[in-house]
């Protein structure tokens, strides 16, 4: 696990984008594992800028997203499909048919989760998985607990996660309490992981990743077992290191 610390979120975003861009330059039909939220937003802006300069091409790229809220369809402005369209897909030459987000409105969520795992398996290895991290150390929506699940599943969101995401909704009551999320198995199978964290509210979780502890109660600590992880931080997120 390699830690890269930058003076600003903007610099961290540019570095993260370069890591992903290098994968695309090496492999035109790369499979990208993508994340939503405020942490990777700046990276997506930088990737769009690189695309506009003609430095990267998304025409053969496939993508799989980590998670989606249960109960929100892709047209909802807080759905993760909508986020990806607005923040990346609408601005580059990726084929939307090759972009995949878990189905949060499937008639059978469990069957939908199984189908998502099968889809990921059919693509082979994810070449680079982008992650954020929750203040409680969650990755995707794999929340702290006595055990973690390997496969894609329906997760109950912790109270602190709901509170952290409430800023994106008009009220806390509107925040979904469940999500469909990739399990830790798919994340750990990816060839490379780029985890982005910014802000003081992520400093504790980052500190735990840098410690010698691995525990399901801080899911991000499992990333220590992965052979190729780059943790990209701004000064605030790195303040406890």
Q: In Å, how far are 132, 137, 215 from 219, measured between CA atoms?
A: 12, 6, 7
pLDDT digits (tens, 9 = 90+) for 3-53: 999 999 999 999 999 999 999 999 999 999 999 999 999 999 999 999 999
Catalytic residue list contains 136: yes
CA geometry: angle 19, 210, 152, nearest 5 deg: 65
Catalytic residue list contains 76: no
Q: Which domain CATH number covers 80? A: 3.40.50.1360
d(CA 103, CA 126): 19
Over range 91-100, report the average pLDDT. Answer: 98
Catalytic residue list contains 67: yes
Pairing of strands 153-156, 99-100: unpaired
Pick the catalytic residue from 67, 68, 127, 234: 67
Expressed as residue numbers, the domain containing 104 is 2-238
The DSSP element (H or E) to which 159 belongs, if any, is helix 159-165
pLDDT of 167 reads: 85
- Give the residues across from 81 on adjacent strands: none
pLDDT digits (tens, 9 = 90+) for 84-94: 999 999 999 99
Catalytic residue list contains 77: no
Domain count within the chain: 1
Alpha-helical segments (H) within 30-171? 38-52, 80-87, 109-122, 159-165
Single pTM value for the model: 0.95
pLDDT of 66 reads: 97
Q: In Å, how far are 37, 38, 41 from 170, measured between CA atoms?
A: 16, 17, 20
Pick the catalytic residue from 46, 103, 138, 153: 138
């Amino acid at each position: 696990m390699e830690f890269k610390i930058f003076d600003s979120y903007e610099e961290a975003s540019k570095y993260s984008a370069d890591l992903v861009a290098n994968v695309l330059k090496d492999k035109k039909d790369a499979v990208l594992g993508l994340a939503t939220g405020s942490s990777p937003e700046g990276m997506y802006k930088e990737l769009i800028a690189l695309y506009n300069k003609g430095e990267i091409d998304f025409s053969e790229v496939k993508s799989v997203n980590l998670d989606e809220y249960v109960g929100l369809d892709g047209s909802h402005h807080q759905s993760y499909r909508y986020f990806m369209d607005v923040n990346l897909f609408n601005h580059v030459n990726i084929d939307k048919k090759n972009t995949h987000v878990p189905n949060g409105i499937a008639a059978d969520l469990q069957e939908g989760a199984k189908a998502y795992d099968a889809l990921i398996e059919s693509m082979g290895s994810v070449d680079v998985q982008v992650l954020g991290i929750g203040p409680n150390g969650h990755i995707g929506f794999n929340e702290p607990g006595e055990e973690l699940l390997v496969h894609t599943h329906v997760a109950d969101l912790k109270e602190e996660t709901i509170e952290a995401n409430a800023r994106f909704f008009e009220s806390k009551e509107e925040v979904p309490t469940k999500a469909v999320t990739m399990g830790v198995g798919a994340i750990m199978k990816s060839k490379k992981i780029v985890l982005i964290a910014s802000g003081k509210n992520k400093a504790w979780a980052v500190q735990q990743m840098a410690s010698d502890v691995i525990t399901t109660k801080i899911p991000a600590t499992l990333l220590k077992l992965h052979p190729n992880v780059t943790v990209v931080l701004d000064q605030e997120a790195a303040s406890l290191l």
